[in-house]
Amino acid sequence: MTKQEKVDFVINTLNRLYPEIPIPLDHKDPYTLLVAVLLSAQCTDVRVNQITPLLFAKADNPYDMIKMSQEEIKEIIKPCGLSPMKSKGIYGLSHILIDKYDGKVPQSFEALEALPAVGHKTASVVMSQAFGVPAFPVDTHIHRLMYRWNLSNGKNVQQTEKDAKRLFPKELWNDLHLQIIWYGREYSPARGWDLEKDIITKTIGRASVLKAYYK
């Protein structure tokens, strides 16, 4: 298979498996998405979706969030892990949104990445899912699968993002990154991986990955 044939196979298979693409993190607007994505660092989406209703019942906008103390926020979000850093980030970015953006989430990568505790991946998710701007946020699933599929060298997530953006059409990025995440969870996990069910890797996978699996 040529590289383009592999790319087409990935796109066609994912469109067949996921014609409707659910958003992993529950939210109602850009602010609640931003907070949910921040909480998802080193935490499962399932756990985040259990905790955000408790947090958002008290504060689902920056004005209510800063009425709480960092300690109060920390106690609510503790099950998500890294709660001291995350509570400081949520409290700090809420203040900045009020002071600089009239309480609204800015619609640029630069402005988002300047917020406390917001990195490139978080900004990319918000730009993609809240504002429909083409982005390709790379999580552990995408990083793993791009390597398994021999579409990236697995060196780091920055390189994986560059490769994904180079290989896949820009108009598909927002759907495709979600489809790959769902595929990784269901068919190509890091643990408990069954290659026979993983049709994409079995068809186009990196030779070294396939050899290691069958050893």
Choosing from 78, 88, 104, 139, the catalytic residue is: 139
Q: By percentage, how much of the chain surpasses pLDDT 90?
A: 95
**Are 13 and 47 in the same domain?**
no
**Are 108 and 172 in the same domain?**
no
Give 63-77 pLDDT, tens digit per residue: 999 999 999 999 999
Q: How far apart are CA 105 and CA 20, in angstroms?
A: 27
Domain coverage including residue 158: 3-21+137-214
Q: Last residue of a domain, which of 100, 129, 158?
A: 129
**Residues 6 or more apart from 84 whose CB is under 8 A from it?**
74
Say whether pLDDT at 214 is over 90: no
Q: What total of structural domains would you count in the chain?
A: 2
Decide if 64 is catalytic.
no
Choosing from 45, 121, 163, 198, the catalytic residue is: 121
**Are 84 and 124 in the same domain?**
yes
Please state the pTM of the whole predicted model.
0.93
Say whether pLDDT at 215 is over 90: no
- Average pLDDT of the chain, as a whole number: 96
Q: Print burial letters for 95-110: b (CB count within 10 Å at least 16), e (below 16).
A: eebbeeeeeebbeeee
Give 51-110 pLDDT, tens digit per residue: 999 999 999 999 999 999 999 999 999 999 999 999 999 999 999 999 999 999 999 999
Q: What is the CATH number of the domain that holds 8?
A: 1.10.1670.10
**Are 7 and 45 in the same domain?**
no
Q: How far apart are CA 181 and CA 19, in angstroms?
A: 14
Decide if 139 is catalytic.
yes
Q: Strand locations in the chain, DSSP E?
A: none
**Are 120 and 141 in the same domain?**
no
